[in-house]
Chain A
Amino acid sequence: MPLANFIRYVRLWLALARFALLNEMAFRGNFLLKVFVEVLWLTILLLFYDVIYSKTDTIQGWDRHQYQFFIGCYFAVEGMIETLFLENCQDFSHQVRTGKLDTVLLQPIDEQFLITMRRVDWSTVPNVLMGAGVMIYALRQSPAVEIGLGQIVLFLVAFGCAILLAYSFLLMLTSSAVWMVRNQSLMELWWLFSSLMRYPREVFQNSWAWPIGRVFTFVLPVMLTISVPAEIMVRPIYRWEYAWWLVIATAMMLAFSRWFFRRALRRYRSASS
């Protein structure tokens, strides 16, 4: 029964999340420090764009507050990825290298679930809230934008797609550790890769980079991740086909990344005896 199975996984995840929360709350000082670092990082990011917008009024049609919304959206999506998946995926290469993956594979449970969602990192939940705060602030600062209920619903759908799309890219990057015995930090690789999400896709327009922009919009559609939800909210004259493409691309990339992950597992050769 697929539904019963689904409920089983939800309950399992909730139990794991509760356990992680207890763990996190045992080290409250550490939690506060981590939150402080994230606040610092967001401040630096906003300062950076403040310096840029002191020199120009627009970046490819994005004005200051529209861009702030974009940053808020990025921060919230990234916060969700870090909360739900990133730390788990980070562990994977270590498990492959040391052969500890054996234990994971023996569990009577979906490997992808166990490897990528086992631990919830509660310390990055505030990022989601901070991102939301920046988005709300940016919306209040741009009076030209009128927001209807339909738009908010659409945004939430696109936001959900953004998380799943980013997750499927993260999963593929994680899986590649089986082929390439990895000693680089996945966090760093993810940071490098996600630079494609951190800027509006319009920066690729009208330049020599146009073909690259096309590849990352249609072949590896990572550039839709933040652009589409942000555009739905703050750039009303918007081309709807990209919203549809985001939904389709998310479904396709989720399926493809799962296939990729399972192929990678088949190549796993344990370690030691």
Chain B
Amino acid sequence: MNTQIAPASPVASTSRSVYRSLRKYFNIFRIALVERLAYRSDFILSSALRLLPMLTTILLWTSVYVGSGQSELSGFRLAEMIAYLLLVHISRMFSSMPGLANNIALDIREGNLKKYLLQPLDMLSYLIVYRVAHKIAYIVTSFVPYAILFFLCRHYFDHLPDVTTWVAYGVSLILAFFVGFYFEACIGMAGFWLLEVTSLLYIVNTLNYFVSGHMFPLDLLPEPWADLLKCLPFQYMAYFPAAVFLGKVEGEALWRGLLAEAGWAIVLVLTARGLFRLGLRRYSAFGG
């Protein structure tokens, strides 16, 4: 039988397809949220344990300042240093992507990639929506422990930033999410060429811990190194948002920093998409 479906008006069909597409991604979001909350008691334990490294770093740095007999190290007072080390956790809350690269590489290796190729679903868009849901669930559920932590540590924050800085901080965090997501996605894409990316990921993450300023503010490093590391994208995953919040980056430098961060985000989006396209040419859909 030769049935022909009457074409709807183009405007209506576009808006409906946008709606469908949105609903699809909303459902992915909802499922990921429920999944995350299923493991709440373990989540509470890990949140409690997460406080321990913060406690020990605060004590370590207090001891360092006492030992040095100085009130300022590389432009950071003790209170600022501790505030920095707390704020880095907020940066990492947005920029860290546990499991992303590994899952992409696994999908490639085991041939699961075809589920994206056969369905009207773009892999990177799917993964980013999925990740946003997990991040929101994570931020909402860890809001209480973090609120308690920041309340207990409130005396390390002696002056709160003004409105402009708050806005810049928010923007830098959102961009940090994109930088972190697409950077890790790029590593996952290496799975098209490498048999396994776990080791590569370990190496990158270990280095990242240092070069992103997660361990200490990059300003503490001797001179060529501090400036060099500030030219790389890694600082946006930890150092930059925290420095913005503390008012260490101001005025023109702030806008240039945000622009550079956005620039890196775009570069990484394009790289991840490019690698995906290149990789698909090599992809052999291994598996049944």
Measuring CB to CB, which residues of chain A are less than 8 angstroms from any residue of chain B? 30, 33-34, 36-37, 40-41, 44, 47-48, 51-52, 54-60, 176-177, 179-184, 188-189, 192-193, 195-196, 198-199, 202-204, 207, 209, 212
Contact = CB atoms under 8 A, between A and B. Distances in A.
A33 to B, nearest CB: 4
Nearest to B207: A40
A56 B210 contact: no
Contacts of A184: 39, 42-43, 46
Interface in B189-247: 199, 202-203, 206-207, 209-210, 215-216, 220-222
Contacts of B39: 180-184
A41 B59 CA distance: 22
Contact of A44 (B53, B55, B206): B206
Contacts of B70: 55
Contacts of A58: 67
24 contacts: A33-B199, A33-B203, A44-B206, A44-B207, A44-B210, A55-B68, A55-B70, A55-B220, A56-B65, A59-B67, A60-B63, A180-B39, A180-B41, A181-B42, A184-B39, A184-B43, A184-B46, A189-B49, A193-B52, A198-B56, A199-B56, A203-B56, A203-B59, A203-B62
Given A180-B42, A184-B43, A203 B63 contact: yes
Contacts of B259: none
Nearest to B152: A208
Nearest to A190: B49
A188 B45 CA distance: 12
Given A57-B67, A180-B39, A207-B62, 17 more contacts: A34-B199, A37-B199, A37-B202, A37-B206, A47-B210, A55-B70, A60-B66, A180-B41, A181-B38, A181-B41, A181-B42, A184-B39, A184-B42, A192-B49, A203-B62, A204-B59, A212-B55
Contacts of B220: 51, 55
Given A48-B215, A56-B64, A209 B55 contact: yes
**Residue with the greatest number of chain B CB neighbours at <10 A, chosen from A33, A184, A196, A203:** A203
Contact of B60 (A51, A57, A203): A203
Contacts, number: 101
Q: Is the interface of B mostly helix, strand, loop or mixed?
A: helix
B207 A196 contact: no
B64 A52 contact: yes
B256 interface: no
Interface string B117-160: 00000000000000000000000000000000000000000000
A233 B232 CA distance: 42
B49 to A, nearest CB: 4
Nearest to A206: B66
Nearest to B220: A51
Contacts of B60: 59, 199, 203
Contact of A196 (B52, B62, B199): B52
Contact of B209 (A44, A59, A60, A212): A44
A192 B46 contact: yes
> What 4 A-B pairs come out closest when comparing CB atoms?
A56-B68, A192-B49, A56-B67, A195-B53
A48 B210 contact: yes
B226 to A, nearest CB: 11
A84 B45 CA distance: 25
Nearest to A32: B199
B31 interface: no
Contacts of B278: none
A179 B59 contact: no
Given A203-B63, A207-B62, A188 B210 contact: no
Nearest to B39: A183
Interface in B40-88: 41-43, 45-46, 49-50, 52-53, 55-56, 59-60, 62-70, 73-74
B46 A189 contact: yes
A60 B202 contact: no
B42 A30 contact: no
A184 B55 CA distance: 21
A261 B125 CA distance: 43
Contacts of B221: 51
A114 B11 CA distance: 65
A59 B64 contact: yes
Contacts of A52: 64, 216
Given A59-B67, A180-B42, A196 B56 contact: yes
B53 A207 contact: no
B199 A179 contact: no
A44 B66 CA distance: 24
A54 B70 CA distance: 13
Nearest to A177: B42
Nearest to B62: A207
A193 B41 CA distance: 17
